[in-house]
Chains A and B, each alone.
Chain A
């Protein structure tokens, strides 16, 4: 009875408050938008339904995540209202049981939260059945889809969330403590579980995620097939079940602990977590004054007070100081100033590794881990704005929460002091946090044994660039709380503002940085370029938002409530009275600044440069296709020779190009018109001239299209010369900063965006299926089907154009272009470089200019040049060795290297360690030189292998742009890298590399989708493909596999030959494979087969004469997954290696001393194998080298039992 009364009263009380309704409304709108925008695009692109159970589950996860931070006040109020309002002496002394009181309150909060979370399915339903939803993306209504998502995700999350929020609020007596509970869960779901998942245990990571980011959004998205994602219902099984049980348990334990520790007792106002630490006795009750009647005259010294500027400053400082102290000593403050920096050390240390090989923690690299723009909602640093939101509310409400408001409101002083003081306090908090983050970065560097700290760079980036980002947001949060003047609503509105900045603006297509608070183009830093030209635009936008912040501050000062009068009318009157001359001047100055800076920015982003929203860009692509697609198949002359004169002016950020293309009509028809695509952004194509009479029939500069009619048609086989001039230089800056590839030091650009090209450019078309449908364009596969490859241009070498370029740059820089350096000379203050290729290259050319140092090497007649930042030298010798070894192996096995040059270039713009290969050219990010094993001989040398992989691309078959193309490029390149590593570094290194590649990171295995011959997925391209080639080479012999590849390359890389498809490859492999192993070829390439090979037990007994009889109990299974992911068990009838190994030699791995390796014929199911070996075995098993693709690692071999 009492329980029901408490429950009903609590429900009725909160239902009459605005916040549950507001939270419901915001959540409804949020889920409506997510479903409509993101789900729609994904659904149409991936071809599943917006209301498929999976899509609804995903939306539910995101919705509950948002709910956690949006609506903690519901549980907070239920848990802490009695204490916060001082009511508790009345309620606590009422004759009620703890269970009734806590149970009623908690259940009311849980019920309310469950009702608020109904906004998630409601939002989805609204979006699905809104009139503008594409009917093709909507599946029939399935109540179970909504119910399962609500029951398995939303409700358990609501339970755990409410339990934690309620417990913290109850314990601390402060409703907003509930928010900290939410942050804890978000932090667990987002970071801790992801961290654990990748670093320690995948399973554990899944379980530790209380929200569903990992076990639904990531895990199911990956494991479920396309069909399953369309139709399969979420069920309580596997990881989902375990996770839900675990967190329900956590919720129950939290509640039980709250129950046990709660007592209807007087509350001592102290932080609860100190209690066990401080064993000090409770303060003695106030003693009765013994000298009550001591009657002395009052002697309070009289000091004149002054109320000048110094007073105001001192007052603001005092407020700042006390604000800072309160925050810094609170639980949330400790989290920000202690826990986060400590985690930072762990995270940075953990991140200083790429693909199993350590990365030196250079300051640039560490800083990239420590910074993120405010709008990066997926960054781990969202914790900072989320905590700022909490602090802002606590600060603004500090006096009133302590019921000191009437005292402080009647103090002398301006209304500026509390606002500025609190902002300064919060600012100080951020400054200390930033300093601690800097220290954390340095500690991480020290831990990793790196000592080149570059404190100047730390200060510039963290204090100069990251801190302002936080400060702007801190001010916004404070101002919102002042303006809203209701703590919980203030929290809701601030959260909404943050959601707008981080997510909603993009969803609502509000992209201009002038419209999203605090936004601006990103800055960039690389050791070569420094900050380049990125700081100017960054600063302009930040100044603009600072001016806004000033204006907001004026607004907050005017509307700051400093009395009992909190009504709107009263506040407006007060504001009018406070609008003194000086305040008006400040406001006018702020408005002036907003207008002036905003105007200047607008002039740059929208007048000097065309401003295009994402929608406009999409519309333009559609329009391009609509206007010119009809010319796609018109025969056009082919580019066969390119001669360029490129002038790079680093100081002016400008580049000028004069060039001439030699075009040949390789079709069988005369060509009467030439279609030329010109660059459309940031480039001025000045002249286009043919060496014969041509009239310009169409000129469409907006879409970069020109159509020339030749006076006399170009007969088949004839050539034509096209001369052109173009100039590219940034005009001011755009919404995304200065789009310039030319900078003072470290210019890099390719021909793709700027240079004129012949013919209609399919690459300018819209790709996304949803977009195409929206603009009424015919569907277009992302990649052409394997059976219908477009006879388009091949992606890499072969075909191509002869290329020659003279590149001029400043005298102190080195310019790089495709080809071998023929000659270099200095003319005035300019230095020129003449590059010529010895064989045709593809149609995209890269140019670089920087103060490079050049490290030279040679391999036969190939000049190897490594262009590097003078300070980055650690990688040079190793890189050269890998390149030489690759040239050696590949040219022997796969065909001659076509060029007489190989340029390896440090990319000036890229800070990372990734690599990219073009014909005769490989470039890498500036992290690459710092990527090296501790022990180059023994440890995995991933950079060596990756360089060999890029070298593999130099030899790959010239392939058609169609399904399966990645097998011919990426898989081939990795296969060749494996062989190069084996040939040049030995089998130990190879085994380490293979062991790394079998890890699920960065490419998780998939048990679904297309076979290797149609491979597009990165797992197939980078992992299964190379494994398949390698396994085949171990079964039929490396020479046979390499021979097949060599023949394939020879057939397709000669001039005029058609590009290869995986059909061609498969034919060659079939020809090379003996009949007895054709089944293996089929299993590896044609279907997705996964073996499950397991050794249960191995027993060895002496068999006399030093020999041992080894008995292996093993199991074999084989399963095939089809395109849609349907699993079929097929009978095993396979040749599988059986290996027995002796004790490993010192410093080598366990497979280094084989005593018996031979292929046996295995059947499905359990079976026993017996072999006799000449030495004492310690390890044995089937398929010990894991040649056959088996996702259960680690059970192929076991220790031998005596």
Chain B
């Protein structure tokens, strides 16, 4: 099996559920090795795309290739190099972490006992579960379970690692540790991280895509996207009651509370006046601008055009 980094190519993938929801609409992405962030609100189609990549679902149309593997039709080949951490999963409550990880190691093809022991030990240490390895999984906290899931996903050095909303249940410390773990892995595998937490992507990913309602709204490198937005984002501290009026006048992309007042960000090619200050854009502004429809493959051009 080749160890060279592989890319994941998604072409025109569509999926419509029996209940009429169009979960994916003509999605095309090129995902190189490294950390790739898939950002989108809940219900955007992230999990559908992730499950499709993880061989659990089939698209109605479109192609997916991992290097020269046809993901849709060569499931077994994908599974042999896949690490998958689902958004939600359970464990056998009566098994210990060590026991269950060893079991998964066998199932993942580590048939040599000594190698398996070395691998599981390394993973348990890495996920900081080594001291709790004898404990029954039923007594694990959410974060411990999540780390255990990571250990399972990392078994067998996957070339394709799919992590679906991994930081949702983690405390801040665990989250940091988990993201560190992922970033190192991203050095020689395709790691797709689906999340609705912008910081996750900002901190980790070299590339990202924003998805909503089954469509890819933006595919970019986070730093470039942030740079492209420079000069377009303005902020204002206001009162909640003034918000509707502001929304009438300006392209408000986000509004959040700050010390009891409301902090709004607006997208505008030029200073909107009216108490708005310039602000250094961050990835969150990229996300909200994209969601608001003012930034994207088209929006970006528009912005550039106006800037010229």
Q: Which residues of A are in contact with B by a Cβ distance under 8 Å?
A: 268-271, 282-283, 285-286, 288-289, 291-293, 295, 297-307, 310-311, 314-315, 318-319, 322, 326, 329, 398, 402-404, 406-414, 417, 562-565, 567, 570, 577
A77 to B99, CA, bound (A): 31
Question: CA separation between A872 and B80, bound complex, in Å?
Answer: 65
Measured between alpha carbons, how far is A283 from B132 in the docked complex, in Å?
Answer: 10
For B94, the chain A residues whose CB sits under 8 A away are: 269-271, 326, 329
Q: A300-B154, A565-B58 are in contact. Are A408 and B107 (CB under 8 A)?
A: yes
Nearest chain B CB to A29 CB, angstrom units: 31
Closest residue of chain B to A418 (Cβ to Cβ) is B107
Give residues 58-107 of B contacting A (CB, 8 Å).
58, 73, 76, 79-80, 82, 84, 86, 88-95, 103-104, 106-107
B246 interface hit (Cβ, 8 Å): no
Interface size class of B (residues with CB under 8 A): 35 or more
Question: Could you tell me which B residues sit within 8 Å of A by CB distance?
Answer: 1, 18, 51, 54-58, 73, 76, 79-80, 82, 84, 86, 88-95, 103-104, 106-112, 115, 118-119, 122-123, 126, 128, 132, 135-136, 138-141, 143-144, 149, 152, 154, 156-157, 171, 173-174, 176-177, 180-181, 184-185
Pick the residue among A268, A289, A311 that contacts B177 (CB under 8 A): A289
User: Given the known A-B contacts A305-B108, A403-B90, are A318 and B54 also in contact in the complex, defined by CB atoms under 8 Å?
Assistant: no
Please determine whether B56 and A403 come into contact, CB atoms closer than 8 angstroms: no
Given contact pairs A311-B109, A318-B103, A563-B56, A403 touches B174 in the complex (Cβ within 8 A): no
Residues of B within 8 A of A570 (CB): 58
- Shortest C-beta distance, B183 to chain A (Å), equals 10
Nearest CB in chain B: distance from A299 CB, A:
6
How far apart sit A862 and B171, CA to CA, in the bound complex (Å)? 100
Task: Give complex CA distance A269, B93 in Å.
Answer: 6
- Chain B residues closer than 8 Å to A403, beta-carbon distance: 88-90
Contact A412 B141 (CB under 8 A): no
Q: How far is the CA of A409 from the CA of B89 in the complex (A)?
A: 12
- B180 surroundings in chain A (CB, below 8 A): 295
Known: A289-B173, A300-B119. A411 touches B79 (CB 8 A): yes
**A298 touches which of B76, B86, B109, B126 (Cβ 8 Å):** B126
Q: Do A410 and B54 form a contact, CB below 8 Å, given A314-B106, A314-B111, A404-B90?
A: yes
Q: Which chain B residues lie closer than 8 Å to A407 at the CB level?
A: 84, 86, 89, 104, 149, 152
4 cross-chain pairs, A with B, having the tightest CB-CB distances, nearest first: A403-B90, A283-B139, A269-B93, A269-B138
- CB distance B90 to A402 under 8 Å? yes
Offer 5 A-B interface pairs, CB within 8 angstroms, sorted by A.
A271-B94, A298-B181, A300-B119, A300-B157, A412-B79
| A271: B residues at CB distance < 8 A | 94
- Roughly how many angstroms separate A412 CA and B159 CA in the complex, as a whole number? 13
List the A side residues contacting B107 at CB < 8 Å.
315, 318-319, 408, 411-413, 417
Check if B89 sits within 8 Å of A306, measured CB to CB: no
Expressed in whole angstroms, the minimum distance between the Cβ of A576 and any Cβ of chain B is: 12
Contact partners of B86 in chain A: CB under 8 A: 406-407
Complex contacts, A563 vs chain B, CB 8 Å? 55-58
Set B103, B122, B132, B176: member contacting A292, Cβ < 8 A? B176
The docked-state distance in angstroms from the alpha carbon of A567 to that of B154 is 31
> Is A318 touching B106 in the complex (CB atoms < 8 A)?
yes
Closest Cβ of chain B to A297, distance in Å, is 7
Please determine whether B57 and A300 come into contact, CB atoms closer than 8 angstroms. no
What residues of B have a CB within 8 angstroms of the CB of A414 in the complex?
Answer: 76
Q: Are A292 and B84 in contact (CB under 8 A)?
A: no
Task: Determine how close the nearest CB of chain A comes to the CB of B89; give it in whole angstroms.
Answer: 5
A residues less than 8 Å from B156 (CB atoms): 305
Minimum distance in angstroms from B87 CB to a CB of chain A: 9
Partner of A322 from the list B103, B139, B157, B177 (CB cut-off 8 Å) is: B103
Name A406's contact: one of B89, B118, B138, B185 (CB within 8 Å). B89
B157 in contact with A302 (CB, 8 Å): yes
CA distance A409 to B55 in the complex (A): 9
Residues on A with C-beta less than 8 A from B174 are 289, 292
Q: From B141, B157, B176, B185, give the contact of A286 (CB < 8 A).
A: B141
Q: Which of A291, A329, A411 contacts B108 (CB 8 A)?
A: A411
Q: How far is the CA of A845 from the CA of B54 in the complex (A)?
A: 77
Bound: A1121/B243 CA distance, A: 99
Task: Name, among A319, A329, A411, the residue most crowded by chain B CB atoms within 10 Å (CB to CB).
Answer: A411
Across-interface contacts of A408 in B (CB, < 8 A): 107
The answer to whether B138 touches A300 (Cβ under 8 A) is no
Starting from the known contacts A283-B139, A303-B118, 15 additional A-B residue pairs (CB-CB under 8 Å) come to: A269-B93, A269-B94, A283-B135, A289-B128, A292-B176, A292-B177, A314-B111, A315-B109, A326-B92, A326-B94, A402-B91, A410-B55, A411-B104, A563-B56, A565-B57
Contact residue among A298, A303, A417, A564 (Cβ-Cβ distance under 8 Å from B185): A298
* B173 → chain A closest CB, angstroms: 4
By the criterion CB–CB under 8 Å, are B139 and A410 in contact?
A: no
* Known A-B contacts A289-B173, A410-B84, A414-B76; A299 and B122 likewise in contact (beta carbons under 8 Å): yes
Docked Cα-Cα span, A1102 to B88, in Å, equals 92
Name the A residues within 8 Å of B95 (CB-CB): 322
**Residue from A285, A286, A299, A302 with most neighbouring chain B CB atoms (10 Å):** A286
Given known pairs A283-B135, A563-B58, the reply for A310 and B122 (CB within 8 Å) is: no
Q: For B152, list chain A residues within 8 Å (CB).
A: 407
Q: How far is the CA of A412 from the CA of B106 in the complex (A)?
A: 10
Q: What are the residues of chain B within 8 A of A306 when measuring CB–CB?
A: 109, 111
How close is A316's CB to chain B, nearest CB, in angstroms?
10
Cα(A302)–Cα(B118), bound, Å: 10
Report Cα–Cα, A577/B157, bound state, in Å: 28
Distance A318 CA – B105 CA, assembled complex (angstroms)? 10
Given A289-B173, A407-B84, are A412 and B108 neighbors across the interface (CB < 8 Å)?
yes
Known: A286-B143, A411-B104. A305 touches B109 (CB 8 A): yes
Please indicate the chain A residues that have their CB under 8 angstroms from the CB of B181 in the complex.
Answer: 298
The 8 Å CB contact of A283, one of B108, B136, B149, B185, is: B136
Contacts of A564 in B (CB 8 A): 51, 56-57
Find out whether the CB atom of B177 lies under 8 angstroms from the CB atom of A286.
no
Q: How many Å lie between the Cα of A562 and that of B91 in the bound state?
A: 18
Cβ of B219 to closest chain A Cβ, rounded Å: 25
B140→A286 contact, CB < 8 A: yes
When C-beta atoms are compared, the residue in chain A nearest to B143 turns out to be A286
In the bound complex, how far is the Cα of B143 from the Cα of A570, in angstroms? 35
Residue of A nearest to B128 (CB): A289
Q: How far is the CA of A412 from the CA of B81 in the complex (A)?
A: 8
> Which residues on the B side are within 8 Å of A326 (C-beta)?
92, 94
User: In the complex, are the beta carbons of B79 and A301 less than 8 A apart?
Assistant: no
| Cα–Cα distance between A282 and B48 once the two chains are bound (Å) | 38
> Given the complex of chains A and B, what is the CA–CA distance between A413 and B171 in angstroms?
35
A298, B171: Cα distance in complex, Å: 21
Shortest distance between the CB of B149 and any CB in chain A (Å): 7
User: Chain A's nearest CB lies how many Å from the CB of B56?
Assistant: 4
Instruction: Indicate if the CB atoms of B123 and A300 lie closer than 8 Å.
Output: yes
Complex contact A410–B56 (CB within 8 A)? yes
Q: Do A268 and B138 touch (CB < 8 A)?
A: yes
Name A304's closest neighbour in chain B (CB-CB).
B1
How many angstroms from the CA of A183 to the CA of B109 in the assembled complex?
Answer: 40
Q: Which residues of A contact B171 (CB under 8 A)?
A: 288
Residues of A within 8 A of B138 (CB): 268-270
A307 to B106, CA, bound (A): 11
Q: For residue B184, give the distance in angstroms from its CB to the closest CB of chain A.
A: 5
Residues in B with CB closer than 8 Å to A410 are 54-56, 79, 82, 84
- Bound: A942/B76 CA distance, A: 71
Tell me whether A413 and B79 are in contact (CB under 8 A): yes
Instruction: Compute how far the CA of A289 lies from the CA of B111 in the bound complex, rounded to whole angstroms.
Output: 32
Please determine whether B80 and A307 come into contact, CB atoms closer than 8 angstroms.
yes
Structural contact, A298 and B184, CB atoms closer than 8 A? yes
Q: How far is the CB of A99 from chain B (nearest CB, A)?
A: 29
Q: Tell me the nearest residue of chain B to A295, going by C-beta.
A: B180
A301–B73 alpha-carbon span in the complex (Å): 31
A298 to B132, CA, bound (A): 19
Q: Within the assembled complex, what's the spacing in Å between the Cα atoms of A283 and B88?
A: 23
A301 contacts B54, C-beta separation under 8 Å? no
